[in-house]
Homo-oligomer: A and B are copies of this chain.
Amino acid sequence: MTSNPTRRGVLGAGLAAGAAALTGRGAKAQAADPAITNLQPWNQALGDGVDARPYGSPSPHEAHVKRRNVEWLTADPVSSVNFTPLHELDGVITPNGLCFERHHAGIAEVDPARHRLMINGLVDTPLVFTMQDIMRFPRENRMYFLECAANSGMEWRGSQLNGCQFTHGMIHNVLYTGVPLRYLLEEAGVKTNGKWVMPEGADASAMTRSIPIEKAMDDCLVAFKMNGEALRPEQGYPVRLVVPGWEGNMWVKWLRRLEVGDQPWHHREETSKYTDLLEDGSARRFTWVMDAKSVITNPSPQAPITHGRGHTVITGVAWSGRGSIPRVDVTIDGGKTWHQARMSGPSAEKSLHRFYYEFDWDGGPLLLQSRAHDSTGYVQPTKDQLRAFRGENSIYHNNGIQTWYVNEQGVAENVEVS
């Protein structure tokens, strides 16, 4: 660190709105500037008409903005994961085409006309619903993040992956439309000894998990739309379970059955997988909630600073499975000094929040970190604090503080600081 950047003053909205001194953001216009006097092709010719794309797609200049996988991570792409390009996004909505995917038997291509959802087990009347039946119940619209329990999992033993897309990209944030699960269960009539619900997927993996009845009757949705339109195939088209704030594996896709029981099922995906192995070889059972977490998305290893010193915008996302995020702190010196970030955009329970920290970069190296506070008062821990409690065997529920080192050229790297 060549000097303490925090002493140089921070550019915030207040300063930007103040005196109009030239600050390096924008060049003085010159009458002969070819950038403005030269006509560009798009000034001179008609473009495509409205018939060209009945369903639109991004500009060819954005072709690099895509989900990516890590080829060495899994043996086969049908039971694998790819990652949301967080460093290319802003705001809090993840566009449907860029929501990370995780499937266990590939993307089931379900015909909605033939799809059925059954409720059975400890209910008064086992029921079978068509998609049209489901859409006759009252619907709700709520925005939630979905985070894979293994997000950041490869970082337990130290920094490995160079980019927030790979370290933190197993998350997306969507406005869902769906029927409260409670309405469907009440239609079937849950018996008094019905204490657990097991959703089952219609894909070839027949994913199952055990959900306590209290959560099922609280805020779960049986969702059929995401960000306004039908669910995407890789997100469970035509219908998925939404389990707000809880690990993504429970949000069963291609939902075909809901069984009500009096105890958990202890199936594969909640015993040999999706449990947290501790230092002593025992495993934590049922660690459902995704705790408060945040990450700086820009700058980051895939998104270096390319404009040189001066006004610099740091941005990132924060979330908590226990509520909203009233505050995020940012440090540029590895935690010596923390600054309260500016939040902008919708703030909803169990949903992504967007933060910004604007400062005047002196061109020296930076150690960037963010730290989320959630509405319960919980503060995001360091990775070392997590390891002290849980050892280094787990791959799930790593919500530790992430560090990026930025060098004098603006290039960022995944590092750890103690």
Contact = CB atoms under 8 A, between A and B. Distances in A.
A96 B56 contact: yes
A26 to B, nearest CB: 4
A233 interface: yes
Q: Report the copy number of this chain in the oligomer.
A: 2
A65 interface: yes
Contacts of A52: 77, 107
Contact of A202 (B40, B54, B237): B40
A108 B52 CA distance: 13
A384 to B, nearest CB: 32
Contact of A90 (B51, B141, B238): B141
Interface in A249-301: 254
B112 A47 contact: no
A141 B344 contact: yes
A35 interface: yes
Interface in A334-352: 342, 344-346, 348
A43 B206 contact: yes
- A interface: dominant SS: loop
Nearest to A184: B26
B69 A51 contact: yes
Nearest to A81: B50
Given A26-B129, A125-B22, A44 B204 contact: yes
Interface residues of A, number: 141
Contact of A40 (B89, B110, B313): B110
Contacts of A128: 26-30, 33, 35-36
Interface in A1-38: 11-13, 16-18, 20, 22-30, 33, 35-36
Interface string A54-93: 1111111110011111000000111011100000111111
Contacts of A206: 43
Contact of A96 (B77, B95, B141): B95
Interface in A118-139: 118-120, 124-129, 132-139
B29 A118 contact: yes
Contact of A356 (B56, B60, B139): B139
Contact of A93 (B26, B93, B105): B93
A354 interface: yes
A112 to B, nearest CB: 6
A203 interface: yes
A203 B49 contact: no
Contacts of A101: 50, 56
A102 B47 CA distance: 12
Given A49-B107, A88-B230, A92-B141, 16 more contacts: A16-B137, A27-B133, A43-B203, A43-B204, A45-B204, A47-B105, A50-B67, A59-B232, A89-B225, A90-B141, A91-B141, A93-B227, A138-B313, A139-B313, A143-B346, A227-B227
Interface of A: 11-13, 16-18, 20, 22-30, 33, 35-36, 40-62, 65-69, 76-78, 80-82, 88-99, 101-103, 105-112, 114-116, 118-120, 124-129, 132-143, 175-177, 180, 182-184, 186-189, 202-204, 206, 225, 227-230, 232-234, 237-238, 254, 306-307, 310-313, 315, 342, 344-346, 348, 354, 356, 358
6 contacts: A13-B183, A26-B187, A29-B118, A30-B128, A46-B204, A54-B66
